[in-house]
Structure 1
């Protein structure tokens, strides 16, 4: 859900995509646990920590309510999980991985 909303296809460098995906992963771990106990360093791939934290704030401001809904509403969790599972199955079936997953 986070990657789908944050990555818009306008990334011009692999490093931009990597930074966006790692930021989404970091926030996903953060929302799943009671506290952030994950070291930040593996998620930082840019020289500036400010860029990372700016992306975090962008995601939180844009998607925090949906992230919280995942834990609060079983139906919403099922919807997102089903979408993720279908995306994974599509990617596995297509060796090139060129199918758009989660496109609304």
Structure 2
């Protein structure tokens, strides 16, 4: 009986040992699997921290930064007055044409406004052409084409009105403007010769100021800052 009890006890103990070992093995397997999952998660987190910003964030940044770079002519002309720009243009002509006596900024302004209103009265155009954008365009032409050697108001007025005619023909609302309204005297041959010369020489800049808000903004800044070169 004692031997039988000892055999049974021994079998029980061995079974318990086997069960304990198997449980311990399962427990170790569970721990190993859990550790692997934790390691994978930590690797993913570190990869996310080191990786660039998600695509959604990139799109959001692009959407925020794109309006600042999308400059337009309307944005450049925000809070700009036509009278102020005409006065600055008149100041430029006074600085450029020092040989012309008794020249003030208002003189050139009156020449331009007179012709502009005559075009409206004669129904050559529905509304005045002079506005901030057209004055900037006109300043660009005058800066490159009006010579410092001009010695009289008549000569200066002729040069200014030629540039005014080219501005109207290029960016005006009408397909064609009557050249007679911009001429002084009856010398049409000299008028057309000078007009073609300026058009050929300035065609690149006229196209550039029309399609590039950045170039347009630079010309406006030069006018405001009295930068004549």
Q: How many corresponding residue pairs?
A: 90
Single out whichever of 31-40 and 8-17 deviates more from structure 2.
31-40
CA distance in 1, matches of 2:192, 2:160: 14
Pairwise CA distance, 1:102: 4.0
**How far 1:14 sits from its partner (Å)?**
1.5
Q: Counterpart of 1:78?
A: 217
Does structure 1 residue 64 correspond to structure 2 residue 189? Answer: no
Supply the RMSD in Å over aligned alpha carbons. Answer: 1.7
Contact 1:19 1:46 (C-alpha < 8 Å) held by counterparts: no
Q: Corresponding residue for 2:141?
A: 2
CA contact (8 A) 2:142 2:163 kept: yes
- Bigger Rg, structure 1 or 2: 2
Distance 1:37 1:60 in 2: 15
From 2, 10, 13, the counterpart of 2:152: 13
Q: Any unmatched runs of 5+ in structure 1?
A: 88-100
Between structures 1 and 2, the one with greater helix share: 2
Report the TM-score when normalising by structure 2: 0.37
Which 10-residue stretch deviates more, 1-10 or 16-25? 1-10
TM-score by length of 1: 0.76
Gaps of 5+ in 2: 1-139
